[in-house]
Amino acid sequence: MTMRQTMWIALMGMVAAGVAGAADVNVTSNIVTSTTWTANNVYHLKALIYVEPGASLTIEPGTIIRGTTESALIIAKGAQIFANGRKHAPIIMTSEQDDLVTWRASCEEWGNLTIMGNALIAATLDGQGTGQPDGTDTAQMEGLTARFAGDTLPLYGGNDDDDDSGVIRYVSLRYGGKVLSIANELNGMSIGGVGRATEIDYVEIMNNVDDGIEIWGGTVCLKHVSIWNIGDDSFDLDQGYRGKAQFGLIVQGYCGTKSQGSGIGDNCFEMDGAESAAAQPFGAASIYNFTVIGQPYDGDVGTEWRDNMRAQFGNCVFMDLGDKVILDGGTAGDGGGYGSTGVPTLAGLFASLFSNYPTNTVGSDPKVLYPNFTSGAWCQFTDCVFYNNKESATLTTFGQMAPALGNKVVTASPIQAITRDAPVQVGGKVMARVISLNPLAANDAVTADGTAPDDGFFTPVAYKGAFGAHNWLKGWSAADAYGMLD
């Protein structure tokens, strides 16, 4: 047992002592008036719990929330959550089985956190929709079902890109993924139609049977995100997502013994544009300072692109990928893919300046839909480091090794240290789980030629990857509590 684990056990002992005289609160019904959950109670989710429109849920720093397999916490469109933890008092959402200090190869032990909002999502182009965004499109959240005819609680999407669903800060989500009452795998955190006024900073997904974080549409931005041992895609973008993310760690692995996609990690990034690829808004994401660690023996791709998705990656580290860095995944929906009618090819988007906007009917300036990019191409990697990846040749295929882009395939590790368990067969794949990690920048990642834009959200830093000389995971994360950090 490491010294840090000993410290965590002592800390959890103090927490347990502090709440010994408090009630275990069973949560069995929806939240319809604004409510506060306090750190001197442990809250046990016993069902699908919606925070209904007009209500807010405030969760104090240090609060522990535990769920069972039939439970999830769902923030409906028009509701808000204020889960504002602190570095040494994180909010932990986990299962009843988690002892808070020991990692287990498990998941599906409770549901997830779902947040839905009023921001724009991709329009439909199916004979009933025009494919032009007018703010009237809504969608039902994956994994949720209507409780009765006309039920709107599972719906997200609207016309307010500045919508505010609240605050998620210093929140650790563990061992989730499945709610038996709806017989579906859930993501660690599901985000649908959430606007850019929502704050998500310092959030962790540890062990989830489905995707780590999946975002449908909207413009929400995220910072300091850790996604570790996910059973499907680690970071999944869909349905016209047009937000930003910075300082992210992805550690590909496994959390169960089922097939890939249901316990064994799939893509690190999976990115889909609109459900109908020619519709708008297509996805346009800005991703800076991510450290992406794959599975070197039998892992999947670093970035899979589908359905007219567009994204810029800057100052990132991609290492130990067992498959391609860039994959043209074609189509995931029923509306065509890259190169179909009205849709550029992926190679064309890697060569097309972002200023080449398509026409649309929203306002006089199409930039109102796509404010993220300030230079470069619609699809692009800049100032990134690629290390020990099996198929880095795809970078050249898509023109990403041009000198002006500053990308480098290197031979020295861009992080300080990584230790893996011995390779094992899990769910038909050879997996070597990361058991210890020091993700601080090393060698070619220590400095960067360019930085993220100084636009009020991004923090311009002159290093590559998620970490400079400071490990922001320490003090609050499950990775720290479980002894995974050097």
Query: Quick one: pLDDT at residue 427?
Result: 86
CA distance 426 to 255: 10
The segments of the chain whose pLDDT lies below 70 read: 1-22, 126-130, 179-184, 331-335, 358-366
Pairing status of strand 113-116 against strand 189-192: parallel
Backbone angles phi, psi at 440, to 5 degrees: -60, 150
CA distance 329 to 110: 31
CA distance 409 to 210: 31
CB 156 within 8 A of CB 195: no
Close Cβ partners of 16 (under 8 Å, ≥ 6 residues apart): none
pLDDT digits (tens, 9 = 90+) for 99-122: 999 999 999 999 999 999 999 999
Residue identified by tokens 């506060």 is: 36
Q: What is the DSSP letter of 377?
A: B
What does the angle CA 361 – CA 304 – CA 461 come to, to the nearest 5 degrees? Answer: 85
Residue 312 covered by a domain: yes
> Which residue type sits at 42?
V
Residue 62 covered by a domain: yes
DSSP SS3 for 85: coil
CA distance 159 to 475: 39
Burial (CB < 10 A; 0-12, 13-18, 19+), residue 191, is buried
Q: What are residue 27's DSSP bridge partners?
A: 45
CA distance 118 to 78: 7
CB 484 within 8 A of CB 103: yes
Closest CA to 266 of 280, 282, 252: 252
Domain count, the chain: 1
pLDDT digits (tens, 9 = 90+) for 4-34: 555 555 555 555 444 455 689 999 999 999 9
What does the angle CA 452 – CA 455 – CA 460 come to, to the nearest 5 degrees? Answer: 30
Query: Quick one: pLDDT at residue 296?
Result: 96
Residue identified by tokens 């368990």 is: 421
Q: Which two tokens stand for residue 56?
A: 């807010």
Instruction: List, as one string, the DSSP characters of 214-268.
Output: EEESS--EEEEEEEEEESS-SEEEESS---EEEEEEEE--BSSSS-BTTTB---S
Q: Which domain holds residue 434?
A: 3-481
Radius of gyration of the chain (CA): 21
CA distance 312 to 291: 15
CB 298 within 8 A of CB 321: no
CB 299 within 8 A of CB 260: no
Query: Quick one: pLDDT at residue 385?
Result: 98
Query: Quick one: pLDDT at residue 10?
Result: 55
> Which residue type sits at 330?
G
Query: Quick one: pLDDT at residue 124?
Result: 79
Residue 486 covered by a domain: no
Pairing status of strand 303-306 against strand 326-328: parallel
CA distance 360 to 120: 14
CA distance 154 to 50: 9
CB 379 within 8 A of CB 285: no
Close Cβ partners of 364 (under 8 Å, ≥ 6 residues apart): none
CA distance 181 to 183: 6
